[in-house]
Amino acid sequence: MAGGKGPAGTTRGRRRAWLVLAATILALGAVVAPARAPVVAAAGDGITLSANATYTIVPSRHVVRVVIDLTARNDKPNVTAGGVTTRYFYEGANLAIQADATNVKATNGGSRVAATVKPQDGFDLLEVRFRSAIFFRQTTKTRITFDLPGGAPRSASDIRVGSAFATFVAWAFGDSGSVRIVIPPGFDAESNGSPVARTTSGATTVLRAASIADPATWYAVVNADNEAALTSERIDLTGGEHVVIRGWPEDDEWRAQVTELLATGLPELRQQTGLDWPVSGDLSIFEVHTPLLEGYAGVFFVGRNRIEISEDLDDLTILHEASHAWFNGSLFEGRWINEGFADTFAARALEGIGIGGWTPKAVDPTESAAVRLMTWEHPGRIADEETDAREQYGYEASWTVIRSLLAEIGDESMRKVLAAAAAHQIPYVGAGTPETVPGSADWRRFLDLLEAVGGSKTATEVFRRWVVTDAQADLLDRRTAARAAYAKLVAAGDAWLTPSAVRSPMATWDFAAATSRMTEALAVLGQRDTIAGRATELGVEPPTALLTAYQTATRSFDEARSIATTSLADLEALGAAVAAVDAPRDAIVALGLVGTMPDVELAAARAAFSGGAADAAIRAMSVVALVDGATEIGRGRLISIAAAVLVVLVLIATLIILLLRRRRRHRALALAPFATVAGPLPTALSGPATEPPYATLADQSGLPVEGPPVDPRPSAPEPAEGISVPSADRSEPRE
């Protein structure tokens, strides 16, 4: 049992505890109906017994010493009839005492009187003889003494009296009286049953009950501990286990067996679970009288580093309680999970150290004592057979379930499940370090871990058969549908791991939210596939931003959808750029692209897209604009070239004309010496007296001036008077 909330141990250990408790209850039944003292002279009920009892624990003698001061009074009046008086007297009395009583003695007036003990069913009948008969209204005082010896460890007696522990049941006697219980120094005592008052005298504690009107129904179960007197044997193991064995000094066998078993069993438990030793500081193991565990064989107290183990020495119980160092509510929430693991790993550890053969008793969830394990709660104490049967079933069924799951997934996978539970790891793992979830793993997270981490294929049906209620079975159906959708999402994601936006509601079993987000996630994956296909066509790698946004989505896929939409738009622009660059080019376009590098610009746009640059579309569209604008630029450049060529041609023509004119001028100068001055000039060389009126000249202001046209030809020089110029002889060479 962990934390005082659940029993532990084997069927055998629990059954023995129940039998001892039943014996105690039976004994108390004897107190309820004690035998009445017999009447010697006549039948009747005319004697009144007042008993003041004192119980004193004597650890050195291992007994509880009992002293009963009994006062008997004859209340049977004399009867006179027909002149004859009948006097009633009593020569003794009968008293019910504990069946364990030894050394029974009785004295009356300081003298020993006869005391006969006759065993009955669950008690002893003590017949005490008075020193002399008592008549009506006479009294007599008798002191009765006896011992209640402490039974040996593991004996059938429910009394224990040792230097470190004592327990017994105190009775009241007679028709009225009192009870006084003396607890020696060093012992801390508590009692259950009828109320008592506590007083102290020095280091001695006294429990009192006075004026007990109905002794037949009065009892007190007394437990007294002297913890300082317990043995203290320490075990320090290499795995960090520090254990202190605290046993009764009188029980060498218990201490030896517990010490040896823990020294070898704890390392084996640590290896079997794969978990580090979880207890900080010393773990103390206390020997306890079996009935005090209220029907159980051991208790693990969470947070107190304390285990109480029955004196009964059951190997499985000892390691079962040690297993609760791990399985105690901090790792898993749920009694059946922790008890099932404790039994399973205790049995496996015993097998590992050569004490194998421990298996659960065969049980079936349809039997009369069966309960759904989710509803198996601690009853407080095992007080009847119905409770015992239910507890027996709960332990065996829990052990059966955990054992079967371990057999299915194997040791290594179960260790992974335990490690994930210890790390508070979310069952549904995505990218990066697995997220953590608060609190201990309940049955739902345990089921998820078994399937998601351990790879179990049967866990859901096992839970449906043994664990859950009908309402929870409906929840399992919704979970099954959600997990099928989740599996499809994981397959669709391929290398893209499922984000926590989906995994988180799956882990909390919010299947409506998980299903809605899975629909969104599939839409994003569809966009991813479209992007990947188009990117392949364009010979580019998709940017990683969408993958990151998808895998890190926590509450929604808004960012991922935005990135996907942008990427598709970028690809549209990039596709237009590729088409523009790859399109056939005429001479005008080629002329327009002279001095530019559209291929380089396209490569830059591709790199910008793959790198996730925000201006990828702008770069792509600038390439389109560059190619689209090349036609106009080419035309302009062609016109400019034509104009330039025309100018050059004009210049060349002008130059040729000038050169021709210059040649003519040189020719004219060469012919001038052979001309005659006196004769008239040839018509071709002479001009009219006046020029045609249509010619215009420009003055310095640039305005046209009416006047004769100017002959552009150079005028022949006026001949000098008296000089004759011979005519040119074309056959002569020019100078």
Higher pLDDT, 689 or 178: 178
Please compute the mean of the pLDDT values over residues 647-660 and round it to a whole number: 90
| pLDDT for position 288 | 93
- Does residue 703 register a pLDDT over 50? no
Q: Is residue 88 part of a domain?
A: yes
Please compute the mean of the pLDDT values over residues 166-191 and round it to a whole number: 96
401 and 335 fall within a common domain: yes
218 and 235 fall within a common domain: no
Q: Is residue 337 part of a domain?
A: yes
- Does residue 673 register a pLDDT over 80? no
| pLDDT for position 709 | 52
Please compute the mean of the pLDDT values over residues 312-340 and round it to a whole number: 96
| pLDDT for position 708 | 52
Residue 12's pLDDT band, with cuts at 50, 70 and 90, is very low
Closest C-alpha among 238, 173, 221 to residue 32: 173
Q: Tell me which of 33-42, 108-117, 183-192 is least confident.
A: 33-42
Hey, what are 495's tokens? 């290398």
Enumerate the β-bridge partners of residue 86: 79
Hey, what are 273's tokens? 């679970």
224 and 235 fall within a common domain: no
Residue 515's pLDDT band, with cuts at 50, 70 and 90, is very high
350 and 399 fall within a common domain: yes
213 and 243 fall within a common domain: no
Tell me how far CA of residue 550 lies from CA of 311, 496, 507, 532, 561, in angstroms: 60, 8, 19, 15, 9
Pairing outcome for strands 283-288 and 306-310: parallel
- Does residue 638 register a pLDDT over 80? yes
569 and 617 fall within a common domain: yes
Residue 337's pLDDT band, with cuts at 50, 70 and 90, is very high
Rounded-to-integer distance, Cα 681 and Cα 152, Å: 174
- Does residue 735 register a pLDDT over 50? no
| pLDDT for position 628 | 86
Kindly give the residue spans of alpha helices, DSSP state H, lying in 453-510: 459-466, 470-493, 500-507
Hey, what are 438's tokens? 């608060």
Please compute the mean of the pLDDT values over residues 650-657 and round it to a whole number: 90
| pLDDT for position 21 | 33
Q: Do residues 587 and 630 lie in contact, with contact meaning Cβ atoms separated by under 8 Å?
A: no
For 377, half-sphere exposure in the C-beta direction (CA atoms, 13 angstrom radius) is: 3
Hey, what are 94's tokens? 């009968």
| pLDDT for position 663 | 83
Residue 614's pLDDT band, with cuts at 50, 70 and 90, is confident
| pLDDT for position 711 | 53
**Going by C-beta distance under 8 Å and a sequence separation of 6 or more, which residues neighbour residue 453?**
413, 416, 417, 420, 425, 427
The angle formed by the CA atoms of residues 279, 283 and 285, to the nearest 5 degrees, is: 145
- Does residue 370 register a pLDDT over 60? yes
- Does residue 32 register a pLDDT over 70? no
| pLDDT for position 676 | 45
- Does residue 65 register a pLDDT over 90? yes
Q: Is 515 exposed, middle or buried (0-12, 13-18, 19+ CB in 10 A)?
A: middle
Hey, what are 5's tokens? 């909330």
Residue 626's pLDDT band, with cuts at 50, 70 and 90, is confident
| pLDDT for position 477 | 96
Q: Is residue 519 part of a domain?
A: yes
189 and 244 fall within a common domain: no
397 and 416 fall within a common domain: yes
Q: Do residues 373 and 365 lie in contact, with contact meaning Cβ atoms separated by under 8 Å?
A: no
Last residue of a domain, one of 175, 196, 228: 228
Q: Do residues 312 and 13 lie in contact, with contact meaning Cβ atoms separated by under 8 Å?
A: yes
Q: Measured between alpha carbons, how far apart are the two ends of the chain, in Å?
A: 143
Higher pLDDT, 674 or 160: 160
Q: Tell me which of 4-18, 160-174, 301-315, 704-718 is least confident.
A: 4-18
Q: What is the mean pLDDT of the chain?
A: 86
128 and 254 fall within a common domain: no
- Does residue 694 register a pLDDT over 80? no
| pLDDT for position 449 | 98
CATH number at 251 reads: 1.10.390.10
104 and 201 fall within a common domain: yes
**Going by C-beta distance under 8 Å and a sequence separation of 6 or more, which residues neighbour residue 678?**
719, 724
370 and 358 fall within a common domain: yes
Q: Is residue 637 part of a domain?
A: no
Residue 364's pLDDT band, with cuts at 50, 70 and 90, is very high
Residue 207's pLDDT band, with cuts at 50, 70 and 90, is very high
- Does residue 706 register a pLDDT over 90? no
Last residue of a domain, one of 608, 628, 648: 628
Quickly count: other Cβ atoms within 10 Å of residue 186's Cβ. 16
| pLDDT for position 174 | 94
Q: Is residue 395 part of a domain?
A: yes
3-class secondary-structure state, position 617: helix
Residues of the domain holding 72: 33-228
- Does residue 23 register a pLDDT over 60? no
| pLDDT for position 5 | 34
Pairing outcome for strands 233-236 and 242-246: antiparallel
Pairing outcome for strands 115-119 and 111-113: unpaired
**What percentage of residues in the chain have a pLDDT greater than 70?**
85
Number of domains comprising the chain: 3
Give pLDDT tens digits for 133-151. 999 999 999 999 999 999 9
Q: Is residue 575 part of a domain?
A: yes
285 and 153 fall within a common domain: no
Give pLDDT tens digits for 427-467. 999 988 999 999 999 999 999 999 999 999 999 999 999 99
Q: Tell me which of 35-39, 42-46, 315-319, 349-353 is least confident.
A: 35-39
CATH number at 83 reads: 2.60.40.1730
DSSP state of 2: B
Q: Is residue 723 part of a domain?
A: no
Tell me how far CA of residue 169 lies from CA of 22, 59, 181, 221, 389, in angstroms: 14, 16, 11, 4, 27
Give pLDDT tens digits for 233-254. 999 999 999 999 999 999 999 9
Closest C-alpha among 159, 405, 174, 182 to residue 292: 159
Rounded-to-integer distance, Cα 160 and Cα 685, Å: 167
- Does residue 29 register a pLDDT over 50? no
| pLDDT for position 696 | 42
Please compute the mean of the pLDDT values over residues 664-687 and round it to a whole number: 57
Q: Is residue 8 part of a domain?
A: no
